[in-house]
Amino acid sequence: MYLGHFSLREAPFSITPDTDFYYPHEGAQASLNMLLVALRSGEGFLKVVGELGCGKTVLCRQLLKTLQGEFVTAYIPNPDMGPDDLLLSLADELGVPIQHPVQRHQIMNGIGACLVNAARKGKRVVVCIDEAQAIPVRTVESLRLLSNLETEKRKLLQIVLLGQPDLDAKLDRPEIRQLLQRITFSEYLGPMHLDRVPVYLAHRLRTAALSDSVNTDLFTAEAAEAIAKASGGVPRLINVLAHKCLMLAYGEGSQEISAAHVRLAIADTPGLKQPGSWWARLRAAWLRRPGRLRNANGSLM
């Protein structure tokens, strides 16, 4: 791939959530600050709603990373499950032993004992539920029951819900308004400001670099502006376009990303423009590179 060509240790624009690449743009940092302050204040239910690709999962992981040693943490990435399965998942995250045959009241008692034990040690317990818009309505009641676990002074379990805008619609349903009333703080996570995109690109390149001397200005000002406009500031789309641009530049043997590279990447990205000749252009450039590999019968690989 292009790592050696650009003196990179790893791919800088992977769409896999990685806290090493966390970039604290205004929206992300505001959401993280709200969560940290509210959790440390003992608030029970918190909510972050964000658009697709705007970094909810990496925000969640950054929160858990920041709270290490200070809180007992649990993470449920996919809550699309029944009430008992959600409780089992939480019990597993907290290390609560489960006896078979599994009975609901035993799970609740085990979780309650775990929370009381943590409180005695001076530890707060927080569970982060990602993709919370997928929680079935029948499972929401389990969350409400968990939020009832408290002492006279504080909640024993704090819950953070992170989800797409559909989460707000679900919480507005009459049958689960009791849960909505318990959410004390909420935040909206949207795209980053477009003028932050060049800094974001440089930040990702610097984080992935083999050394401090790597060139973080690979993207020309015109290229960065084109990526910002096409992506609308959505981090996932920025990463997709930037990755394709690096592949194109590598295929041409170039050390610079131009606006032309961005236009080709945009043309190949669903949801932005109709697919174009991006792959054909990349393949043609690759075949022109010196020293390209051949297989056993002498044809190009």
Q: Determine, yes or no, domain membership for 181.
A: yes
The reported pLDDT for the residue numbered 203 is 96
Whether residues 173 and 254 share a domain: the answer is no
Q: Quick one: which of 98, 175, 92 has its CA closest to 136?
A: 175
pLDDT at position 211: 85
Query: Are 181 and 198 in a shared domain?
Result: no
Report residue 199 as tokens: 């800094």
Is there a single domain that holds both residue 279 and residue 265?
yes
Low-confidence ranges of the chain (pLDDT < 50): 274-278, 291-301
Asked if residue 249 is part of any domain, the answer here is yes
**CATH number of the CATH domain containing 168:** 3.40.50.300
Class of residue 159 by CB neighbours under 10 A (exposed 0-12, middle 13-18, buried 19+): buried
Q: Which residue has the tokens 């909420």?
A: 186
**CA 76 – CA 128 distance, rounded (Å):** 6
Instruction: Print the domain residue range for 145.
Output: 24-189
Secondary structure E strands in the chain: 45-50, 71-76, 124-129, 158-163, 183-189
**Contacts with 45 (C-beta within 8 Å, 6 or more apart), sequence order:** 147, 158, 159, 161, 179, 182, 183, 184
User: End of a domain among 189, 221, 245?
Assistant: 189
Backbone angles phi, psi at 275, to 5 degrees: -55, 140
Q: What is the pTM of this model?
A: 0.86
Structure confidence by residue, pLDDT tens digits, 130-181: 999 999 988 888 888 888 887 767 889 999 999 999 999 988 888 887 888 8
How many domains are there within the chain?
Answer: 2
